[in-house]
Amino acid sequence: MGKRSCLPIFIIDCGKDIMATRALNVLISARILEYVRETISSRYDLAHIHFIPYSGHRLDDQTLAQIDIAFVSRDITGRSTKYVLEAKTDTYYQMMEDAPNLQWVHVHSAGVDRPVYVRLRDKGLNVTSSTGALSGIVAQSVLAAVLALNRRFRFLEAAQREHVWAPLLDDLMPADLEGQHVLLAGWGPIAQTTQRYLAMLGMKVTVLRNSTVTGHTDVPMASYDDFLRILPESDWLVLACPLTDTTRGLVGRNALNAMKPGAHIVNVSRGEVIVESELIEALRTGSIAGAYLDVVDKEPLQPESPLWDMPNVMISPHTAGHSTGNEARVADIFAENLNNWVKGLPLRNLAR
């Protein structure tokens, strides 16, 4: 794609003296610029910020050299996945990697494991996430999935499609959720909200995490070393953990064989946490009763994948955290961090 001449730079001056050092230049979506501008003007005592709007076209090298900060909002990533990028996303990613003075990138998602973010971190850049902005929405999706799998909504949907009156009787009778045991991998904002929702149903939750220090909670904690020991006691495995060396491939043949017959899996983490081919086999044989997968190993899920047609599987296209209020919540976190950056305070959600 050819380079374009410099785009306009929007200047926000909140009435203070201009900083002695040169003003900060922020690359930002043209769509979200107005909201961020109003937010930093009304909430924070910032002196002088230059916003460089992005509308889908590559900026020239002179402009790229001015950029200090880049905000990757949802409208920039659009329908892109980790493996398949839309043109506007690819252009934005390339500009971030080509901007010689870029120091900090803020991302709309909770995870920052996309290859471009890893490369930027490896170069020494600060990368922050929007952890916390989507936690309530993702937790609602987990709750909906648990209820739908337990209440056999897939079966009822199929019966409705065929105009069949099929009461949930005999072997179809759902078990009470109250008293069932959930092994919840992760203890970030999504997992913590999920735990509260599941506890509301009377479910017993054990949290799997790197540190077993409980802090200000009485929720039982276990380390990943105890994973295979606890699985046989669990009716549900809910994955809400980050993708790390520890969690990559966490749920493979050994884990699936250790699970209680009739257990279910809910994954709102990353597809790579599960060995997909081995999960498919467990679902086919019925050793795992069902699964809700918001994420898969390679996204988008290929049309020929058997997961699409499995009656005991629910799939959503990495949208468990999508909701109309996300844009403002994410922008609020970025604005807070922009204030922190200007004033030399620690950045919230800094990736390590």
Catalytic residue set = 270, 299, 318
Distance CA 260, CA 231 (A): 7
Task: Give the CA-trace dihedral at 319, 325, 329, 331, to 10 degrees.
Answer: 90
Angle at 243 between CA 238 and CA 247, to 5 degrees: 65
* Six token digits for residue 294: 């918001």
Residues in Cβ contact with 272 at an 8 Å cutoff, skipping those fewer than 6 apart: 243, 248, 249, 297
* Six token digits for residue 80: 């892109």
* Six token digits for residue 238: 């809910």
**Cβ(293)–Cβ(148) below 8 Å:** no
Bridge partners (DSSP) of residue 49 are 12, 24
**Cβ(263)–Cβ(181) below 8 Å:** no
Bridge partners (DSSP) of residue 265 are 237, 291
Residue 336: strand, helix, or coil: helix
Phi, psi of 351 (to 5 degrees): -70, 140
The residue whose two tokens read 């898969």 is 296
